[in-house]
Amino acid sequence: MKRSGLITTKIGMTRLYDDGGVAHPVTVLSVGDCTVIGNRTQEKNGYIANILGLREAKAKHVAKPQAVAAEKAGLKPYRKVVEFRVSDDCVIPAGTQLLASHFVAGQFVDVQATSKGKGFQGAMKRHNFGGKEATHGVLKAHRSIGGTGMREWPGRVLKGKKMAGQMGNETVTVQNLKVFGTDEAENLIFVEGAVPGANGTFVLVTDAIKKEHKDLPVPTKTVVTETAGTEETATETEAVVE
């Protein structure tokens, strides 16, 4: 079983307390209007996936292929569109809005986001070099990297040598973060620990690949509104696999 992930937005960090009064640093992730906007099938595409979108946008603010695809599906275009590969029993119909309760308190998740850009940085900050000595003849080179190549052979600097350069602004995945809890009313997920990226960054959240999971809503947890006469009642539907 491989469930779909969610597209979320990083709100920031705070602290929450457990039943024993112990404070836990958590990152707040907003699910917002994350919606399934399409599917990939084995027959047509060669693999099975759910296509998710987050944050509705005007057609003029998205790429033309996305705008055309949204129009054909009868949905509004979204600013962020991501595919999540799933097993055949975890396909979610298009138009389904996903909830924070897709994840369960106590389970582990993997998060992926773009880290903060640091610009051009030296080797000590970028690669955690120790630097040179403060004395003993070192003059104005305390934070330099020292020698970078060999002598006659190969007589060049090898590719991949750790040197100063652009730092950050790259895709970072953090594994095995624990879900402290969820807020279904505000559609928020509270994840213990730090998540890459600045506040407002799009964060992809999936079930931890290195952990076993039990009692998760499969394929997801949704709220369906039924109309009976003149009254509308909301009922929760979910399938739980042990």
**Residue 229 domain flag:** no
Tell me: do 36 and 105 sit in the same domain.
Answer: yes
Q: Are strands 171-183 and 108-114 parallel, antiparallel or unpaired?
A: antiparallel
**Residue 178 domain flag:** yes
**Residue 108 domain flag:** yes
Residue indicated by tokens 């000590």: 124
Tell me: do 128 and 16 sit in the same domain.
Answer: no
Tens of pLDDT along 157-200? Answer: 999 999 999 999 999 999 999 999 999 999 999 999 999 999 99
**Residue 231 domain flag:** no
Range 42-70 average pLDDT: 91
pLDDT grade for 235, boundaries at 50, 70 and 90: very low
Tell me: do 92 and 123 sit in the same domain.
Answer: no
Tell me: do 163 and 188 sit in the same domain.
Answer: no
What's the helix, strand, coil split of the chain in %, to 5? 10, 45, 45
Domain membership of residue 62 as a residue range = 6-116+170-212
Contact (Cβ atoms closer than 8 angstroms) between residue 102 and residue 109: no
Distance (Å, whole) CA 5 – CA 220: 10
**Residue 38 domain flag:** yes
User: Who has greater pLDDT, 112 or 221?
Assistant: 112
Tell me: do 105 and 175 sit in the same domain.
Answer: yes
pTM, full prediction: 0.86
**Residue 36 domain flag:** yes
Distance (Å, whole) CA 230 – CA 58: 34
DSSP per-residue string spanning 216-228: EEEEEEEEEEEEE
CATH of the domain at 61: 2.40.30.10
Tell me: do 76 and 185 sit in the same domain.
Answer: yes
Tell me: do 50 and 129 sit in the same domain.
Answer: no
**Residue 222 domain flag:** no
Tell me: do 60 and 143 sit in the same domain.
Answer: no
**Residue 135 domain flag:** yes
Tens of pLDDT along 12-41? Answer: 999 999 999 999 999 999 999 999 999 999
Tell me: do 21 and 90 sit in the same domain.
Answer: yes
Distance (Å, whole) CA 208 – CA 189: 15
Tell me: do 26 and 82 sit in the same domain.
Answer: yes
Q: How many domains does the chain have?
A: 2
pLDDT grade for 223, boundaries at 50, 70 and 90: low
Tell me: do 163 and 191 sit in the same domain.
Answer: no
Tens of pLDDT along 90-146? Answer: 999 988 999 999 999 999 999 999 999 999 999 999 999 999 999 999 999 999 999
Tell me: do 110 and 70 sit in the same domain.
Answer: yes
Q: In the chain, at which residue ranges do the beta strands (DSSP E only) sit?
A: 6-17, 23-30, 35-40, 49-56, 78-85, 108-114, 117-121, 165-168, 171-183, 188-192, 202-207, 216-228, 231-241
